[in-house]
Amino acid sequence: MTPMRQAHWLGRGGLAFMFAYHGLVPKLIALSPGEQLLLRAHGLDGSPWLSRGAGVAELALAAILLLAPRNNWSLAIAAIVLVGLLVDIALVQPALLVDAFNPVSLNIAGLALCAVAWVTRAKPLAELSSLRD
């Protein structure tokens, strides 16, 4: 495997791990206090099913990232989700932005993994042939 492919898989794998862990542990295994706080901040205190649904969606995205490596739209979706969640937290619960291991550091690191996987992705044949012209 070339160093470029290794970098791609490190980016994609790290991103998949991040989404899988955050989908499984704080949302499905045990609804974390942070998840409960965010539900309350949105006025959805009695709706833990929303966090569980988000956890399932995160696990699905992690699976797509790993099992469909030629599917580059999953990288774009991951980046959009990370930016959207960061903006959401900044608006509804800005106090979380100064905690240790906060959404700023996590989401920016996730965006960096998206960027690494994006710039090292396999180019479609049409794009490669246009580079030769």
Kindly report, residue by residue over 96-107, the tens digit of the pLDDT.
999 888 999 999
Rounded Cα distance, 132 and 127, in Å: 9
Tokens representing residue 77 in the block: 């979706």
Assigned domain for 127 exists? no
Output the DSSP codes for 15-61.
HHHHHHHHHHIIIIIS--HHHHHHHHHTT-TT-HHHHHHHHHHHHHH
| Residue 48 exposed, middle or buried by CB count within 10 Å (0-12, 13-18, 19+) | middle
Q: Which domain holds residue 74?
A: 3-121
| pTM score above 0.85 | yes
Tokens representing residue 100 in the block: 């240790």
Output the DSSP codes for 48-66.
HHHHHHHHHHHHHHHHHHH
Q: 46 or 51, which is more confident?
A: 51
Domain count, the chain: 1
Q: 126 or 38, which is more confident?
A: 38
Assigned domain for 83 exists? yes
Assigned domain for 50 exists? yes
Question: pLDDT-derived band of residue 124, with 50, 70 and 90 as boundaries?
Answer: low
Is the confidence at residue 47, as pLDDT, over 90?
Answer: no
Assigned domain for 128 exists? no
Assigned domain for 129 exists? no
Is the confidence at residue 63, as pLDDT, over 80?
Answer: yes
Rounded Cα distance, 109 and 93, in Å: 20
Assigned domain for 115 exists? yes
Closest among 110, 120, 124 to 82, alpha carbons compared: 110
Assigned domain for 82 exists? yes
Assigned domain for 98 exists? yes
Rounded to an integer, the average pLDDT of 21-43 is: 93
